[in-house]
Structure 1
Amino acid sequence: MKYNIINFLQGLFIILFTPLFVGIIKKIKANLRGYKGPSIFQIYYDYIRLFQKSNIRSENSSFITEIGPILSLAASITVAFMIPVFYSNDNTLGNLFIIVFIIGIIKFFNTLIGLDCCSTFGGMGSSRELFLSMLVEPVMFFIILFVYFETKTFNIFNIASINAGSNPYNIGHILAAVAFFIVLLTENARVPIDNPETHLELTMIHEAMILDLSGKDLGFIELASQIKLVAFITIFINIFMPVGLGTSLSALVILKAILFYIVKVILVLLIISIVEIIMAKSRLFRVPELLATAFSIVVAAFSLNYFI
């Protein structure tokens, strides 16, 4: 019973603190650019404003636009409860393949929403999203395969516990982390894959799919995408930066693990911010080159660890 409670609290932690982490990355980017920027709590106010507004839907849209945002949010919340945050125990729910498939549900409904509104931009964004998804899948598969050979398990809770109790930091591990980081940027529409700060029609991917949404629908989709980002960062931390993860239900250990988690998330957000500041968005047909590089990196990591 106590393990179920702590796992529930971990998922709730991600959901409640996701807007704060997004606010932090916006604040970091603003400071790096030399201006003050919004408060780190601004995202909470934005959600309050969105959830108080009514929905405006295209007369050509179907039930997909009506149920898609809430189902996308439900999938992201499900993922939040399937990954360790500050404590890892023997949990059967954390299979990496299941997590990846549930994340795919978010993408599935987002692309359907983009097509359902009958907008040219929506269809363009959906086609680009699925094009990139096709290229990401082989990289993700090899990363999971690498992690399995390293830990002999697909369960993220067990992977985090094993890596936290050992010293997995070798060249292959670092290369796999770089490949996963590229996947993280791609799956969450970050620079250089996409620019989440603009609505430039000729370049946007994620924003194009949700361009016709408003009110609660937009709030649900935005929250789902942001939870997905924090979930990806948490998975990245669990696999490649598990130091400080709690493995016992001691108040001091849990408090220390929470502090370690927050510091690691802010570190990853800082790296993402630096990448987005120093790089420009790539042309769409240059993105496959980046993902091919990620694939080569993870294959090299696999080869270094198990064949050389």
Structure 2
Amino acid sequence: MKYIAINFLQSMLLIIVTPLFMGILKKFKAILRGYKGSSIFQVYYDYQKLFSKGRIRSSQSGFITQIGPILSLAAAITAVFMIPTFFSSGETYLGSLFLIIFMMSIVKFLNTLIGLDCASTFGGMGTSRELFLSMLAEPVMFLTIMFLYFENKSFNIFTICFNNSAGAFYGIGHILAAISFFILLLTENARLPIDNPETHLELTMIHEAMILDLSGTDLAFVEMASQIKLMIFLTIFINLFMPFGAATTLGAVIILKAAVVFFVKILVILFGISIIEISMTKSRLFRVPELLSAALAIAIAAISLNYFL
């Protein structure tokens, strides 16, 4: 019961601080560009503003637009409770990587349905691009999972984090798999160079095009789901590829130290993403397969090195 309680608390904490991390990411980008930028708490104010507004829906939209946003957020929140954050108790009935991927696919599936349901040109365009990239990203994801299974003999993220939390030796195959997953992370969350999350230029946007007709609480739910999805991918990346410092036993000092280490690792990755996003431009859509092909090749190389070395 005590393990269930700490798993619940760490998942709730991750949900609560997700807008803060998004604000920190924007702050990093502003500082690197040479201006002050908005407060790191601005995302909370944006949600307050959206929840105070009413819903305006297209006359062509149906029930999908009514229930899709809240279901998307529910799927994202459910996935949070399937992953460890800074504490892992080892083997558990939760934590299956395939189940987590399935929950993330539900978020994407609902967002694409919302983009189609509004019957706008932009929604259909963004949906087609999103599914095109998803088709290319799935082989990379499954090859990365294969590598993790060959390396750890488990598909459970809690078990992998528990076994490697003491600081296991990371070979070249592990590093290559981490690079492949990081490219996948950028693709699945519509970050540069795949998509520009800061623009509403109709010829370039992917994620924004699908939710362009949403407003008020509907937009807040979808944006929250997308931000939580990014934090889930970052947490999975940390717990699979650099879980050192994670707590495996209960204790106030141990848990606090593990939480601090986790937050530091998140900040380091967010700073790396901010550097990528201020130094690169969005790639042409038909250049993205080249990047994902490189990620696929890197994943295959990681599996080969793990098998032969």
TM-score class, shorter-chain normalisation, is over 0.9
- The alpha carbon displacement at 1:163 in A equals 1.6
The one-letter amino acid of 2:220's match is: G
The one-letter amino acid of 2:121's match is: T
Q: Does 2:106 align with 1:105?
A: yes
Partner of 2:308: 307
The two structures have a TM-score, normalised by structure 2, of 0.99
Partner of 1:64: 64
The one-letter amino acid of 2:244's match is: V
C-alpha separation in 2, matches of 1:123 and 1:51: 26
1:13-52 correspondence runs (5 A): 13-52=13-52
Q: Does 2:166 align with 1:165?
A: yes
C-alpha separation in 2, matches of 1:92 and 1:265: 26
Structure 2 runs not aligned, ≥5 long = none
- The alpha carbon displacement at 1:164 in A equals 1.3
Q: Does 2:98 align with 1:86?
A: no
C-alpha separation in 1, matches of 2:15 and 2:53: 21
Structure 1 runs not aligned, ≥5 long = none
Partner of 2:198: 197
| Aligned partner of residue 212 in structure 1, secondary structure | coil
Partner of 2:145: 144
Runs of 4+ aligned structure 1 residues displaced above 6 Å come to none
C-alpha separation in 2, matches of 1:170 and 1:23: 34
| Aligned partner of residue 302 in structure 1, secondary structure | helix
The one-letter amino acid of 2:299's match is: V
Partner of 1:117: 118
- The alpha carbon displacement at 1:166 in A equals 4.6
**Cα RMSD (Å) of the superposition?**
0.7
- The alpha carbon displacement at 1:165 in A equals 2.9
C-alpha separation in 2, matches of 1:77 and 1:234: 14
Partner of 2:279: 278
C-alpha separation in 1, matches of 2:177 and 2:295: 9
Partner of 1:206: 207
The two structures have a TM-score, normalised by structure 1, of 0.99
C-alpha separation in 1, matches of 2:254 and 2:162: 14
In the TM superposition, what whole-angstrom CA distance separates every residue of 1:147-206 from its partner, at most 9, and x where no partner exists? 011110000000111121352311101000000000000000000000000001001000
The one-letter amino acid of 1:34's match is: G
In the TM superposition, what whole-angstrom CA distance separates every residue of 1:105-151 from its partner, at most 9, and x where no partner exists? 00000000000000000000000000000000000000000001111
The one-letter amino acid of 1:265's match is: I
The one-letter amino acid of 2:104's match is: I
Identity of aligned residues (%): 68
C-alpha separation in 1, matches of 2:34 and 2:10: 35
| Aligned partner of residue 85 in structure 2, secondary structure | coil
Q: 2:76–2:225: 8 Å Cα contact kept in structure 1?
A: yes
Count of residue correspondences: 308
The one-letter amino acid of 1:168's match is: F
C-alpha separation in 1, matches of 2:268 and 2:30: 16
Q: Does 2:277 align with 1:260?
A: no
The one-letter amino acid of 1:208's match is: A
Partner of 1:76: 76
C-alpha separation in 1, matches of 2:15 and 2:124: 30
C-alpha separation in 1, matches of 2:169 and 2:124: 43
